[in-house]
């Protein structure tokens, strides 16, 4: 099938196109040089055209998300839509059902989304849900930061075994990358405790978070994985944690990148850029974080922007969730996974007049606006921790309009004036910056820039057309229009197929699941597996033979090859 998009005001940062009228030719799901005269034509009529959105950090599938649904029928009751001839019913706001996940991303022009955390042991569940999310391409990052084999191999300083374990763990979980959450803390939470910084020793394993992070970054680069280590820093959720965040970022200097990308991605930085010593003197240190990022070339971040109203916090950071539940007097879901990690789910409601929430709201925006290079800061809400992904258009509008920000600042707790810099920041991002933060940059950070996040020849034909004419709009003033255009794409094209027209779902193809097959020398795997077999024999509650995710759970795989013997490194 051929398709030609004419007269679009195209923003394609990778290919240096900034709003020029450019035609896009599509054939067999890919962007090509040209198409025949029989191609179907979509006349964009001068409207904004971008590559399909790419989300590098969102919680869309798996055990924690489903615990969120089961804990929160009050959330399921929001956003209910009956089935149609094309779509299954939709439910939920912060924890939508699988169908709503796919439809709502597609309606915003997003076509690729990565689930940010799965324990290997629960990966089958993640994939069961991913399989049922319609339209979008997806993948999942696998947790390694508190796994017993990780800690054993780090202690033994055996990088070959560690790399072999990471490769095997990605295969076992059909995972795309290395996620590290509060390294060491997941194990400590097994006895209700936590680490308090990079140099705390994890009892019984005799390793520190610092050693875990550095070793996993090294293993990640030994394997030449497409994505870097994706870190949820220690001390998340504690005032003063920006120091830990900065110290963690510095660790990237110990490791050389194997590819043209960062060595470390520090995620949902809104929750990690906190100054002060308690909730009373809590303040933003977003400027310090942004300043560090501006002056280095091996660390990227994403916002984790806070959205007013209901959110569901969910993370492998078990101890922080217990603390949240206590602080908020909220219901508490906890889900330790043997030998691997912790996890917790707690509902929250972000209120404009609560000073801490107002400051957090400002931190996300500061991070985005004070970081000079948009390739270094991705637009996320850490869905649904900062708020649901359907609010990305609100975040886009805030970043593009100082007027909107100033209007908003008037309505929030006065603490934003004294304890953040947001009132004085007048930078306004343009469509090119937004395209980077929502697609090109995310694709680059994920290591997918060959086929995702751009509109050059060879890219996947994932395209969004938004109902605004960039040359006829002043986003600074007409921010409401910008927001509504990004909420409801005029067209979303996925793999060359029109899946959304005028904000309505028109087709629900099955997306692909990305995972990384990294090879290592067989002898490394053999030695590593001795340890693994021992752990299954003695400590796991299931057998090794029943551990790995089977092919039946990844019916539309997109396998990315990496590894040591693949000659990538």
Partner 1 sequence: MTVITDALCPFCGCTCDDITVVVEDNKIMEVKNACKIGVAKIKGHHRIKAPMMRTDKKGEFKEVSYDEAIEAASKILAGSTRPLLYGWASALCEVHKKGILLAEELGAIIDNTATVCHAPSTLAVHEKGLPSATLGQVKNRADLVVFWGSNPVHAHPRHMGRYSVFAKGFFNEKGRRGRKVIVVDVRKTDTAAMADEYIQLQQGSDYLVISALRAILAGQAAVVPDVVGGVPKEQLVKLVDTLKAAKFGAVFFGMGLTQSISRYKNIDNAISLITELNAFTKYVITPMRGHYNVTGFGNVCAWETGYGTAVDFARGAPYYNPGETAANDVLLRKETDAAMIIAGDAGAHFPADSVRQLARIPVIQIDPYWNPTTEVANVVIPVAICGVEVEGTAYRMDGVSLRYRKMIEPTHPTDVEILEKITERVRKIRGD
Task: Kindly tell me which of 129 and 137 has the beta carbon lying closer to partner 1.
Answer: 129
Residue 549: strand, helix, or coil: coil
Task: Kindly tell me which of 146 and 432 has the beta carbon lying closer to partner 1.
Answer: 146
Q: Is 204 in the site for partner 1 (CB under 8 A)?
A: yes
Q: Which of 42, 54, 121, 236 binds partner 1 (CB under 8 A)?
A: 121
Judged by CB under 5 A, which stretch of 108-116, 146-154, 222-230, 501-509 contacts Zn ion?
A: 108-116
Closest contact distance (angstroms) between CB of 540 and partner 1 is 6
Judged by CB under 8 A, which stretch of 97-105, 256-264, 376-384, 439-447 contacts partner 1?
A: 97-105
Burial readout 434-457 (b: 16 or more C-beta within 10 A, e: otherwise): bbbbbbbbbbbbbbbbebbbbbbe
Binding mask 135-154 for partner 1 (x = CB under 8 A): -------------x------
Size of the site for partner 1 (CB under 8 A): 65
Burial readout 389-420 (b: 16 or more C-beta within 10 A, e: otherwise): bbbbbbbbbbbbbbbbbeebbeebbebbeebb
Binding mask 38-77 for partner 1 (x = CB under 8 A): -----------------------x-x-xxx-xxxxxxxx-
Inter-residue contact 273 to 292 (CB < 8 Å):
no
> Mind giving me the DSSP string for 183-226?
TTHHHHGGGT----STTPPBTTTTB-HHHHHHHHHHHHHHTT-S
Binding mask 184-203 for partner 1 (x = CB under 8 A): ------xxx-----------
82's contact among Zn ion, partner 1, none, with CB below 5 to 8 A by partner kind, is partner 1
Cα(434)–Cα(441) distance, integer angstroms: 9
Residue 361: strand, helix, or coil: helix
Q: Is 122 in the site for partner 1 (CB under 8 A)?
A: yes
For residue 393, which of 498, 509, 475 has the smallest C-alpha distance?
Answer: 475
Which residue's structure tokens are 């310090």?
288
Inter-residue contact 13 to 452 (CB < 8 Å):
no
Task: Kindly tell me which of 5 and 116 has the beta carbon lying closer to Zn ion.
Answer: 116
Closest contact distance (angstroms) between CB of 535 and partner 1 is 9
Q: How many CB atoms lie within 10 A of CB 360?
A: 24
Q: How many CA atoms lie within 13 A of 86 on its CB side?
A: 13
Read off the tokens for 442: 């995310």
Q: Is 91 in the site for partner 1 (CB under 8 A)?
A: yes
DSSP 492: E
Task: Kindly tell me which of 10 and 151 has the beta carbon lying closer to partner 1.
Answer: 151
Q: Is 302 in the site for Zn ion (CB under 5 A)?
A: no
382's contact among partner 1, Zn ion, none, with CB below 5 to 8 A by partner kind, is Zn ion
Inter-residue contact 212 to 150 (CB < 8 Å):
yes
Closest contact distance (angstroms) between CB of 331 and partner 1 is 4
Q: Which of 49, 116, 141, 219 binds Zn ion (CB under 5 A)?
A: 116
Closest contact distance (angstroms) between CB of 332 and partner 1 is 4
Closest contact distance (angstroms) between CB of 340 and partner 1 is 9
By CB under 8 A, the residues from 408 to 447 that bind partner 1 are none
Q: Please state at what angle helix 159-173 crosses helix 123-132, rounded to 10 degrees.
A: 40
Handedness of CA 140, 145, 150, 153 (dihedral sign): positive
Q: Is 341 in the site for Zn ion (CB under 5 A)?
A: no
Cα(311)–Cα(314) distance, integer angstroms: 10
By CB under 8 A, the residues from 515 to 544 that bind partner 1 are 538-543
Inter-residue contact 202 to 188 (CB < 8 Å):
yes
Judged by CB under 8 A, which stretch of 91-99, 287-295, 348-356, 561-569 contacts partner 1?
A: 91-99
By CB under 8 A, the residues from 304 to 333 that bind partner 1 are 322, 325-326, 330-333
Inter-residue contact 384 to 297 (CB < 8 Å):
no
Site residues for Zn ion per CB under 5 A: 116, 382
Site residues for partner 1 per CB under 8 A: 61, 63, 65-67, 69-76, 80-83, 85, 88-92, 95-99, 121-122, 124-125, 128-129, 132, 148, 190-192, 204, 322, 325-326, 330-339, 345-346, 538-543, 545-546, 550, 552
């Amino acid at each position: 099938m051929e398709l030609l998009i004419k007269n679009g005001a195209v923003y394609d940062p990778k290919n240096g196109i900034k709003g020029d009228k450019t035609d896009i030719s599509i054939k067999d799901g890919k962007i090509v040089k040209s198409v025949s005269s029989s191609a179907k034509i979509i006349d964009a009529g001068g409207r904004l055209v971008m590559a399909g959105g790419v989300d590098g950090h969102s919680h869309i599938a798996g055990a924690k998300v489903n615990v969120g649904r089961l804990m929160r029928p009050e959330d399921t009751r929001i956003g209910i839509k009956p089935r149609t001839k094309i779509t299954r019913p939709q439910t939920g706001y912060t924890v939508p059902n699988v169908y709503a996940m796919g439809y709502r991303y597609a309606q915003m022009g997003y076509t690729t989304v990565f689930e940010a955390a799965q324990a290997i042991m629960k990966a089958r569940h993640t994939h069961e849900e991913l399989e049922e999310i319609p339209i979008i391409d997806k993948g999942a990052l696998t947790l390694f930061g508190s796994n017993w084999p990780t800690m054993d191999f780090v202690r033994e300083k055996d990088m070959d075994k560690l790399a072999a374990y990471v490769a095997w763990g990605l295969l076992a979980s059909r995972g795309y990358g290395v996620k590290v959450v509060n390294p060491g803390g997941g194990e400590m939470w097994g006895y209700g405790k936590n680490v308090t910084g990079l140099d705390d020793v994890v009892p019984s394993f005799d390793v520190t978070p610092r050693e875990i992070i550095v070793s996993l970054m090294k293993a990640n680069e030994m394997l030449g994985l497409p994505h870097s280590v994706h870190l949820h820093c220690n001390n998340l959720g504690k005032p003063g944690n920006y120091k830990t965040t900065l110290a963690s970022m510095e660790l990237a200097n110990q490791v050389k990148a194997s590819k043209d990308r960062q060595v470390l991605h520090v995620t949902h930085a809104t929750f990690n850029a906190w100054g002060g010593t308690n909730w009373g003197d809590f303040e933003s240190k977003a400027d310090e974080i942004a300043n560090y990022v501006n002056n280095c070339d091996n660390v990227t971040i994403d916002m984790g922007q806070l959205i007013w109203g209901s959110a569901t916090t969910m993370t492998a950071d078990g101890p922080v969730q217990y603390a949240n539940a206590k602080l908020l007097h909220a219901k508490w879901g906890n889900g330790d996974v043997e030998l691997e990690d912790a996890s917790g789910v707690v509902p929250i409601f972000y209120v404009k007049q609560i000073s801490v929430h107002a400051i957090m709201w400002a931190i996300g925006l500061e991070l985005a606006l004070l970081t000079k290079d948009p390739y270094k800061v991705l637009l996320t809400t850490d869905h649904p921790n900062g708020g649901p992904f359907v609010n990305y258009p609100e975040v886009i509008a805030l970043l593009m309009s100082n007027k909107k920000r100033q209007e908003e600042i008037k309505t929030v707790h006065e603490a934003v004036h004294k304890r953040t810099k947001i009132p004085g920041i007048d930078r306004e991002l343009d469509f090119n910056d937004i395209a980077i933060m929502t697609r090109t940059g995310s694709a680059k950070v994920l290591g997918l820039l060959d086929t995702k996040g751009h509109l050059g020849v060879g890219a996947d034909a994932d395209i969004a057309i938004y109902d605004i004419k960039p040359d006829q709009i002043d986003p600074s003033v007409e921010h409401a229009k910008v927001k509504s255009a990004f909420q409801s794409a005029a067209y979303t094209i996925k793999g060359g197929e029109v899946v959304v027209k005028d904000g309505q779902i028109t087709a629900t193809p099955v997306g692909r699941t990305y995972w990384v097959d990294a090879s290592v020398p067989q002898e490394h795997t053999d030695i590593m597996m001795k340890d693994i077999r021992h752990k299954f024999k003695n400590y796991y509650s299931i057998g090794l033979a029943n551990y790995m995710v089977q092919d039946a759970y990844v019916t539309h795989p997109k396998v990315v090859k990496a590894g040591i013997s693949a000659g990538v490194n």
